[in-house]
C-alpha cells in the first residue's frame, strides 16, 4: 500500500554455521526513510538487529531468536521536530523495542526447513508492542525440481 515515501536499508549479515553444535546469526540494518510528500512527515532513521542462536540436535535446532529496534533520529513535520504528546516518552517520537523468545527448527533430509518462534516485546517506546508468533517454511529450489 502507498505510504508516500521511500526507504533504503543497507544491511550486514553474519553467520556462524558449523555442521553440528551451536549456530549463531545476526543481521544488522539501518533504515533511512524519505519525507512523505503528501503529509510532509519524515519518520526518523532506525537501527535494527535480528539475531538467532541455537543448538543443533540431529535434524532439530532449538534456541532463541529476537530483534532490537532503536530509532536514532527524530520524526519531523515540515522540518520541525515533532513535540511530545501526553503518553509519548520523548520529543521526536523516537521508537524502540526489544523482542526475544524461544525458537525451534526442523530440517528434512531434502533440506526443507520448518521453523517456529515466539517473541515477546519489551522496552517498547513510541510504537505498538506485544507478542509475535512466527512460522516459516523454506523449500530449496532443488527440492522443488526433484534434485537432492
Q: Are 56 and 89 in contact (CB under 8 A)?
A: no
Task: For the chain, list residues with pLDDT below 70.
Answer: 1, 84-91, 143-148
Q: Where does residue 102 rank: exposed (0-12), middle (13-18), buried (19+ CB within 10 A)? A: middle
- Please tell me the predicted confidence (pLDDT) of residue 46: 96
The residue extents of the domains of the chain are 7-144
> Can you tell me the distance from the alpha carbon of 148 to that of 125, in angstroms, rounded to the nearest whole number?
47
- Please tell me the predicted confidence (pLDDT) of residue 128: 87
CA-based max dimension of the chain: 59
Amino acid at each position: 500500500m502507498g505510504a508516500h515515501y521511500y526507504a533504503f536499508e543497507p544491511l550486514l549479515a553474519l553467520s556462524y554455521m558449523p555442521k553440528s553444535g551451536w549456530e549463531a546469526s545476526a543481521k544488522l540494518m539501518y533504515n533511512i526513510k524519505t519525507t512523505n510528500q503528501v503529509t510532509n512527515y519524515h519518520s526518523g532513521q532506525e537501527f535494527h538487529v535480528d539475531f538467532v542462536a541455537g543448538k543443533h540436535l540431529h535434524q532439530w535446532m532449538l534456541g532463541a531468536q529476537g530483534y532490537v529496534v532503536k530509532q536514532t533520529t527524530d520524526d519531523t513535520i515540515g522540518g520541525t521536530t515533532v513535540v511530545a504528546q501526553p503518553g509519548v516518552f520523548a520529543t521526536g517520537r523516537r521508537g524502540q523495542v526489544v523482542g526475544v523468545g524461544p525458537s525451534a527448527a526442523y530440517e528434512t533430509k531434502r533440506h526443507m526447513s520448518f521453523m517456529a518462534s515466539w517473541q515477546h516485546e519489551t522496552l517498547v517506546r513510541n510504537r505498538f508492542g506485544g507478542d509475535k508468533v512466527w512460522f516459516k517454511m523454506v523449500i530449496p529450489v532443488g527440492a522443488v525440481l526433484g534434485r537432492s
